[in-house]
């Protein structure tokens, strides 16, 4: 597989009162295009910090990140925002859908934040993404009219609408029942057939085991990295 992200010596240190907290203590990892990866670990292990940095929501204190051949560890805010809008998708445990917008409007929204947005093209792309997740029959509904599983499928459609290279799913099954857990994990796993890298962040071993590669973190370090 082609390398998508390569990170070396990644560190993130926060100042908490008089102490330095090392959320990442020197991480080396590679992610290939089209991989389904789970990052597993307890609270405080560094997995969410790693996701935030790789998703261009934060910057490391030290280290190198090469994303699609470009060194991105020290990008400014505008360039990080471009990557978030154009190359990265996010799926969250709490769905993060806007309650006053329809399903179609929620999914189209990321495209409207791009430079020179085209509302008609954004709506068309949103319809395609919703069809891919089996939600094309709910276009005019609002999030409050949907079940938890339906809302998460809409959130996945929003994550893929911009044709990202990678999707970060942060505890995406935490608010779902067993049937919808399987549905959402199957849907995320199917994205790798299109060359999208999926990184699933979780503390649940049974969820992590659905991925093809499991990275276990503890105390800001990679404890284990195994292929399944």
- pLDDT tens by residue, 84-127: 989 999 999 899 999 999 999 999 999 998 877 789 999 999 99
The answer to whether residue 20 sits within a structural domain is no
The verdict on residue 163 lying in a domain is yes
Please tell me the pTM assigned to this model. Answer: 0.91
Number of C-alpha atoms within 13 angstroms, CB side, residue 174? 14
Whether residue 6 lies inside any domain: the answer is no
Q: Model confidence over 119-158: pLDDT tens digits?
A: 999 999 999 999 999 999 999 999 999 999 999 999 999 9
Residue 11 lies in a domain: no
Residue 25 lies in a domain: no
Is 213 domain-assigned?
yes
Count of domains forming the chain = 1
pLDDT of residue 1: 62
Q: What is the CATH number of the domain that holds 117?
A: 3.40.50.300
Residue 183: inside a domain, yes or no?
yes
Report the distance separating Cα 46 and Cα 118, nearest Å: 38
CA distance 106 to 109: 5
- For residue 71, tell me if it sits in a domain: no
CA distances (Å), origin 63, targets 7, 22, 28, 47, 118: 7, 13, 9, 16, 38
Whole-angstrom Cα distance, residue 83 to residue 178?
A: 34
Domain region containing 51: 34-58+76-227
């Amino acid at each position: 597989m082609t390398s998508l992200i390569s990170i070396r010596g990644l560190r993130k240190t926060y100042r908490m009162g008089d102490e330095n907290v090392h959320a990442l203590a020197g991480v080396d990892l590679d992610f290939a295009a089209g991989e389904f990866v789970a990052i597993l670990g307890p609270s405080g292990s560094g997995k969410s910090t790693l996701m935030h940095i790789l998703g261009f929501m934060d910057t490391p204190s030290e280290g190198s990140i090469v994303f699609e051949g470009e060194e991105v560890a020290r990008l400014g805010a505008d360039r990080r925002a471009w990557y978030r809008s154009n190359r990265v998708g996010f799926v969250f445990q709490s769905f993060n859908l806007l309650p006053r917008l329809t399903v179609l409007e929620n999914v189209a929204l990321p495209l409207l934040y791009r430079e020179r947005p085209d509302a008609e093209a954004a709506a068309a792309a949103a319809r395609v993404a919703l069809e891919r997740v089996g939600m094309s029959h709910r276009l005019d509904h609002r999030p409050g009219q949907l079940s938890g599983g339906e809302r998460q499928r809409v959130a996945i459609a929003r994550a893929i609408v911009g044709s990202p290279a990678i999707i970060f799913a942060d505890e995406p099954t935490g608010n779902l029942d067993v049937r919808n857990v399987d549905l959402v994990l199957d849907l995320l796993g199917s994205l790798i057939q299109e060359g999208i890298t999926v990184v699933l962040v979780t503390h649940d071993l049974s969820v992590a085991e659905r991925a093809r590669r499991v990275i276990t973190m503890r105390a800001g370090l990679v404890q284990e990295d195994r292929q399944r």
